[in-house]
Structure 1
Amino acid sequence: MLHHITLHLARSKEFPEGSAQHGYEITAPLNEEGRLDQEEWMRHRAQCRVRRFWENEADRQGVLVHRPGGAGGATWMIDYDQNRFGDEEAGYRLNQHRFVQGEYVTIQDEDEKPYTFQVVAVRPVGQAVAANGG
């Protein structure tokens, strides 16, 4: 089943309180455990979209892709331009992490700098958004 997932930047040296102005909105298939579902992704890959929002930068729109290689035999990535190599952001072992509110995931930017994000919201596609945007 497809879900809308919201990630906010977790606490770090640069952002001691974390940041709701830095993160991602991802539409992706999750299984019952809250893990990315590769089989469902194959059936719904056109709907697996990503929006990266970063304070003082324009939003970036991309797609969630699954590629062979990497830890565990495959890598989940965000691809902003499928006609250009090198603009991708790789998730760190996203196949093993649970996208459940309160959990943490790591994504490397295109310069391979890792950032940790907290899952702040997960809801099935089609469910109404709360008034506060979460």
Structure 2
Amino acid sequence: MSAQAAFHHVRLELAREPDHPAGNPGFGYDLVIPLDGDQKLDKAACQTQARPSRVRRFRNDATEAVGRLARSDDGRWFFDFEPGEADDEFGFRLDDERFVPGEYISIRAADGVPHTFRVMTSSPIDLGDA
């Protein structure tokens, strides 16, 4: 990737699951993450960018938590909302996923329950000098 990563705003919404047969557009995540040309996580940019990736978890369209995308010592990607590990939410093979509309992303909540989310939007953003 170039010296300046291509950051994208990606919106994930809960996909169909037993308790939500139609999914739930009011529960999900807004991500600001660097993606490569294949629309996959730009791993190098995630580790070298001065601006960290951002994660916002929402429920009923209200912000529940704001954090960052981080990588564990064993190479797994997770959403880190507070210091410590109690609230960490791990993605399943996030470095292999394409963040394009229609794709599905699996995330294990802090309570250990996995959920599947659908990529609803993914659009490049200009972070400017902010």
**TM-score of Structure 1 vs Structure 2, range by shorter chain:** 0.7 to 0.9
Matched, 1:24 2:29: yes
Point out the more displaced range, 113-122 or 48-57.
48-57
Kept in 1, the 8 Å contact 2:56–2:63? The answer is no
% identical aligned pairs? 34
Give, in angstroms, the shift of residue 67 of structure 1: 1.8
Name the counterpart of 1:79: 80
Show structure 2 runs of 5+ residues with no match.
1-5
Q: Which moved more, 1:106-115 or 1:39-48?
A: 39-48
Q: CA RMSD in A?
A: 1.7
List structure 1 segments (4+ residues) > 4 angstroms apart after TM superposition: none
Q: SS at the partner of 1:36?
A: coil
Cα deviation, 1:4-39, whole Å, max 9, x if unaligned, reads: 100000011111111110000001111111111110
1:12 counterpart = 2:24: no
The one of 62, 71, 76 aligned to 1:66: 71
Q: Which moved more, 1:41-50 or 1:4-13?
A: 41-50
Unaligned runs of 5+ in 1: 128-134
Alignment correspondent of 1:50: 55
For the residue of structure 2 that corresponds to 1:35, the secondary structure is: coil
TM-score (normalizing by structure 1): 0.84
Equivalent pairs counted in the alignment come to: 122
Q: 1: distance between equivalents of 2:84 and 2:34?
A: 25
CA distance 1:60–1:100, shift in 2 (3 Å): same
2:116 and 2:14 map into 1 onto residues whose CA distance is 6
- Could you tell me how far apart the structure 1 residues matched to 2:85 and 2:113 are? 17
* Partner deviation per Cα, 1:93-134 (whole Å, 9 max, x = no partner): 11111101100000011011000000000011139xxxxxxx
